[in-house]
Chain A
Amino acid sequence: MHMADALISPATGGLMWAATAGLITYCSTKAKNDLDDTKVPLMGVLGAFIFAAQMINFTIPATGSSGHLGGGLILAILLGPSAAFLTMASVLTIQAFFFADGGLLALGCNIFNLGFFPCFIAYPLIYKKIVGMRPTKGRILTASLIAGVVGLQLGAFSVVLETVFSSISELPFNTFILMMLPIHLGIGIVEGLATAAVVLFVFKARPEILNAASQSRPLGNLSINHVLASLLGVAIITGGALSWFASAHPDGLEWSMAKVSGTEELENPEHGIHASLSGIQEHTAFLPDYAFKTAHGEEGDMESETAWPAVDAGTSLSGLVGGTLTLFIAALIGFSVKRRKNA
Chain B
Amino acid sequence: MAKFDSQLFDIGYMDTLAVGKTSLHTLDPRAKLVTTMVFIGTVVSFGKYDISALIPFVIFPIVLVAWGGLPTAYLIKKIMIVSPFAFFIGIFNPLIDQTVIMHMGSLHITGGWISFASILLRFALTVGAALVLISLTGFHAVCMGLEKLGVPRPFVVQLLFLYRYIFVLMDEAGRMIRARALRSFNSNGRSLKIFGSMIGHLLLRTMDRAQRIHLAMCCRGFDGHIRLIHPMAFGIREAAFVLGWSALFISMRLYNIPHILGKLVTEFVL
Contacts and interface: CB of A to CB of B under 8 A. Distances in A.
Instruction: Report A-B touching, CB under 8 Å.
Output: yes
B200 A86 contact: no
B58 interface: yes
B200 A198 contact: yes
B86 A7 contact: yes
Contact of B195 (A56, A105, A331): A56
B45 interface: yes
Give chain B's interface residue range (CB within 8 Å of chain A): 35 or more
A338 B67 CA distance: 6
A233 to B, nearest CB: 18
Interface stretch (B47-55, B229-237, B238-246): B47-55
A69 B174 CA distance: 16
Contacts of B153: 28, 32
Interface stretch (A33-41, A264-272, A288-296): A33-41
A2 B51 contact: no
Interface string A302-331: 011001101111011111111101110011
Contacts of B101: 308, 311-312
Nearest to A319: B52
B117 to A, nearest CB: 11
B193 interface: yes
Interface string A33-69: 0010110111111111101111111110100001001
A52 B206 CA distance: 10
B207 A311 contact: no
A219 interface: no
A249 to B, nearest CB: 6
B187 A59 contact: yes
A44 B162 contact: yes
A242 to B, nearest CB: 9
Given A52-B173, A246-B45, A205 B204 contact: yes
Majority secondary structure of chain B interface residues (helix, strand, loop or mixed): helix
A89 interface: yes
A94 B166 contact: yes
A22 B173 CA distance: 34
Contact of A169 (B43, B50, B119, B165): B119
Given A7-B119, A41-B210, A100 B192 contact: no
Interface stretch (A8-16, A124-132, A278-286): A8-16
Contact of B170 (A51, A66, A327): A51
Nearest to A46: B206
B213 A326 contact: no
Given A7-B119, A55-B174, A341-B22, A24 B261 contact: no
A38 B174 CA distance: 27
A52 B170 contact: yes
B46 A254 contact: yes
A38 B158 contact: no
A240 to B, nearest CB: 16
A229 interface: no
B155 A326 contact: no
B40 A103 contact: yes
Nearest to A1: B85
B66 A337 contact: yes
Nearest to B269: A321
Given A45-B165, A316-B102, A326-B56, A197 B193 contact: yes
Interface in B185-219: 187, 190-204, 206-207, 209-211, 213-214, 217
Interface in B153-186: 153-155, 157-166, 168-170, 172-174, 176-177
A10 B265 contact: no
B199 A56 contact: yes
Contact of B47 (A8, A103, A170, A253): A253
B262 A58 contact: no
Given A100-B78, A197-B196, A330-B59, A310 B49 contact: yes
B89 A163 contact: yes
Contact of A40 (B118, B129, B157): B157
B237 to A, nearest CB: 17
Interface in A88-114: 89-91, 93-94, 96-105
Specify which of B11, B56, B83, B174 lies most central, judged by the most chain A CB atoms within 10 Å of its CB. Answer: B83
A102 B127 CA distance: 8
A209 B203 CA distance: 11
Interface in A196-248: 196-198, 200-202, 205-206, 209, 246
Contacts of A2: 83, 85
B129 to A, nearest CB: 8
Given A59-B192, A100-B83, A209-B204, 9 more contacts: A4-B127, A40-B157, A41-B210, A44-B213, A56-B202, A59-B190, A103-B127, A168-B118, A197-B199
Interface of B: 1, 4, 7, 10-11, 14, 22, 36-37, 40-41, 43-52, 55-56, 58-59, 62-63, 65-67, 69, 78-79, 82-83, 85-86, 89-90, 92-93, 96-97, 99, 101-104, 111-112, 114-115, 118-120, 122-123, 126-127, 129-131, 133-134, 139, 142, 151-155, 157-166, 168-170, 172-174, 176-177, 187, 190-204, 206-207, 209-211, 213-214, 217, 222-224, 226, 250, 253-254, 257-263, 265-266
22 contacts: A2-B83, A4-B126, A5-B43, A9-B44, A24-B151, A31-B154, A40-B154, A42-B214, A44-B213, A45-B210, A49-B203, A52-B173, A61-B192, A97-B133, A163-B89, A169-B90, A175-B92, A202-B203, A307-B49, A322-B258, A325-B262, A334-B65
